[in-house]
Amino acid sequence: MPGATDFYHPNTYACNHVELIRGGSAYFQLLQQLIDSAQRSIHFQTYIFDDDETGVEVGAALMNAAQRGVKVQLMADAYASKDLSAAFIERMKRKGVAFKQFEPLLKSHKFYFGRRLHHKVFVVDGDKSLVGGINISNRYNDMPGQPAWLDWALYSEGEVCRELERVCEEVWSGKIFSRKQKNKNKSITQQESNELLVRVCRNDWVNRKNQVSRTYLQMFQHAKQHITLVSSYFLPGRVFRKNMERAAKRGVQIKVITAGNSDVAVSKNAERFLYRWLLKRGIRIFEYQPTVLHGKLSVCDDELVTVGSYNINNISAYASIELNLDVMSRPFAQFTKQTLQSIMEDDCLEITYETYQTKYTMLQRILQWFCYLLFKFIFFLFTFYFRQKE
């Protein structure tokens, strides 16, 4: 792991408090409380916003806040939230909620089909925030007879929230296509603060932001003992795999928690095509069983935790707009490691080389290979025309 001094740069901020929030009722109850407590502003940007029971409840809370005089800005991705009804949007607008779609299909002069707003960022009054992978939909909530998909968000208080608010304002205004932005936020030095330190990491390849990808590469390059990765659509690209292999050869214990049941069958089959590659390099694989795994969370050497919207695949690395928070805190990292260890022991099926060989027939392996090639083709189709901004 990089030393403490390597963690200090202009995107690192002091935090009064951080807490790992599991998806489901715990997340949505906290979200409701934060919306109800807002006094000045709410910035909310998400990939999926459905007007099902969960979306209606969150929308009602946002409308109530706007009626109290709170400035409310809600942005949802135009493609992923395409089923959000015009009537629901109009009702929110009438109640004072400012609403935008990110890159409406066929309506943007700077449109990239594969480049979607995938981050999930909520900031209230510039001092409290939630960042993670949880969308606004029944799938991510605990419903009668239907437990939530497994996911997390990081709740933060402190200076980092002002930076997240600035990021939301930048995306809202469309200035993410502009030239280099001046970062007016000061960096934290090791002598200035003994508070928790949180680093804001963004990925948007078109705009030359590859900070989340760099966090993962630094993990593999500097890890000394262990790395545990949680990824819902685990399809690491060539560079990622190369660094993972080097870490494993150095003796770093690497564990990967993947979905046992996935909402995207092609992706799951493509993942399983990579299992033999991972297992031959001593990387342990655990498939989560109770529900769909949707989380994006990793911990390294009891020192660093990264949590957010970034999936370990080339879509997150080179296409989508992503945001993770990196937390440098030994107690928090140890708590996260223990949480993931409990999940592996209680809720996962470990896939060994022997069980993989016996579980999947030759026909199933051919299907996995085909899905892997199909996924690579889809990625190329969505991104081959992308150009980085100067």
Q: What share of the chain is helix, strand, coil (3-state, %, to 5)?
A: 40, 25, 35
Rounded to the nearest integer, the mean pLDDT of the chain is 91
Residue 206 has φ and ψ, to the nearest 5°, of: -60, -35
Structure confidence at residue 248 (pLDDT): 98
Kindly state whether residue 1 falls inside one of the protein's structural domains. Answer: no
In a domain, 390, yes or no: no
Residue 310 and residue 315: Cα distance in Å, rounded? 9
**Structural domain includes residue 122:** yes
How much of the chain exceeds pLDDT 90, in percent? 83
Given 177, 211, 240, the domain boundary residue is 177
Q: What is the mean pLDDT of residues 351-358?
A: 93
How many other CB atoms sit within 10 Å of the CB of residue 129?
29
Angle at 130 between CA 128 and CA 135, to 5 degrees: 150
218 shares a domain with 166: no
User: What is the pLDDT, as a whole number, of residue 9?
Assistant: 58
Output the pLDDT for position 341.
98
Q: Give the model's pLDDT for residue 6.
A: 53
Q: pLDDT for 20-70, tens place per residue?
A: 999 999 999 999 999 999 999 999 999 999 999 999 999 999 999 999 999
What is the separation, in whole angstroms, between the first and last Cα of the chain? 32
**Does a structural domain hold residue 5?**
no
pLDDT band at 310 (very low <50, low <70, confident <90, very high): very high
Number of H helices, E strands in the chain: 12, 16
Residue 105: pLDDT above 80?
Answer: no
Residue 373 predicted with pLDDT over 60: yes
What pLDDT does 389 receive? 75
| 360 shares a domain with 221 | yes
Q: Are 297 and 305 in contact (CB under 8 A)?
A: yes
Distance CA(160)–CA(48), nearest Å, equals 24
Residue 211 and residue 353 in one domain? yes
Is the pLDDT higher at 191 or at 262? Answer: 262
In 3D space, the residue among 329, 291, 282 whose CA is nearest the CA of residue 156 turns out to be: 329
Q: Which among 218, 108, 171 is positioned nearest to 320, based on CA atoms?
A: 171
pLDDT of residue 210: 94
Query: What residues does 124 pair with on adjacent strands?
Result: 42, 128
* CATH code of the domain covering residue 69: 3.30.870.10
266: containing domain: 202-383
Do residues 268 and 145 both lie within one domain? no
Residue-wise pLDDT tens digits, 173-202:
987 654 444 444 344 343 344 568 999 999
- Cα–Cα dist 154/205, whole Å: 24
Residue 5 has pLDDT above 50, yes or no: no
161 and 216, same domain (yes or no)? no
Q: What confidence tier does 384 reach under pLDDT thresholds 50, 70, 90?
A: confident
Q: What is the pLDDT at residue 181?
A: 44
